Amino acid sequence: MAEERLSRVFAALADPTRRDIVARLAGGDATVGQLAEPYGVSVQAISKHIKVLEEAGLVSRSRDAQRRPCHLEAEVFDLMTGWIERYRRRAEERFQRLDAVLAAMDDTQDNDQQGVAS
Amino acid sequence: MAEERLSRVFAALADPTRRDIVARLAGGDATVGQLAEPYGVSVQAISKHIKVLEEAGLVSRSRDAQRRPCHLEAEVFDLMTGWIERYRRRAEERFQRLDAVLAAMDDTQDNDQQGVAS
DNA sequence: CTCTTTATCAACCATTTGGTTGTCAACGCC
DNA sequence: GGCGTTGACAACCAAATGGTTGATAAAGAG
């Protein structure tokens, strides 16, 4: 189900270290060791982070001898922007309808008692 | 810092119940009780969810007698789409550069020994 | 003033999360 | 075959999360 995928992706990006990993992978593929180097944590910890990103579909790994190069799967971004834009648009439409109502009230404000309090 | 805000927003939306609350608020403001009604959980649980959304800046609450109507703050979406689009674009540019390199290799493939292995 | 409605706070519980260390597998190199 | 490198898996731990129940506050209704 798409809900499950959305939850995984959002949860994956809720961690600053994982967001940073995604940011760096956007600039090019990298091995676990290379990714782990900048942070003051163990390689195992980063390996776990990458696993989370992988299960969210944000990262895929191939094989090169002992190395496991990580690759960003940018299409997953569409899942998020799709969700976000849907509700942003809905909220915006509602906002515009509210605007229309206020404008209508404004047009008739000298005919009835209800002014638009500032 | 923006990182902290991003973490909160992504974490808030990682929960399906909270995403659903946001979706419903996109259609109009609602009270805690109204929001809690569809799910099989206590009002207190939903109150906690709303608090998370509020601390992420996604929801604001006003006052109407005992009621506390919840309102979606859709501008926060921009924070997410801003982050996402930045790295999506970067990954896309890299992809196009790779394409250019492959094309160049293709142009010269009968002049040198390096073929593009499939 | 008392009762009901609406929602928060506090304490508690089970599960998940992000980190650690230790062990082990896979692979290239000597 | 033995060694160094790269990375995953398991067990463990502290902290955070999502839920519960019980008590409490705030405000209108009787």
Task: List pLDDT tens digits, range B18-68.
Answer: 999 999 999 999 999 999 999 999 999 999 999 999 999 999 999 988 899
Instruction: Check B87 against A28: CB less than 8 A apart.
Output: no
Interface probe, candidates B60, B77, B96, chain A, greatest A C-beta count within 10 A = B77
CA distance A10 to A80: 8
Confidence at residue B2, expressed as pLDDT on a 0 to 100 scale: 87
Asked if residues B70 and B31 have their Cβ atoms less than 8 Å apart, the reply is yes
C1’ C22 / CA B14, Å = 33
**Which residues make beta-bridge pairs with B61?**
B70
Distances (CA, A) of A79 to A102, B82, B96: 35, 15, 22
Write down the pTM of the prediction.
Answer: 0.86
Six token digits for residue A31: 């091995």
Residues of A in CB contact (< 8 Å) with B are 3, 6-7, 10-11, 13-16, 19, 22-23, 25-28, 72, 74, 77, 80-81, 83-85, 87-88, 90-92, 94-95
Question: How does pLDDT run across A56-104, given as a tens digit for each residue?
Answer: 999 999 988 889 999 999 999 999 999 999 999 999 988 887 777 777 7
Instruction: Check A27 against B3: CB less than 8 A apart.
Output: no
CA distance A75 to A63: 21
In the structure, what pLDDT confidence band is assigned to residue B105 with cuts at 50, 70 and 90? low
Task: Tell which phi-psi region holds residue B89, choosing left (phi > 0), alpha (psi between -120 and 50) or beta.
Answer: alpha
Instruction: Check A14 against B27: CB less than 8 A apart.
Output: no
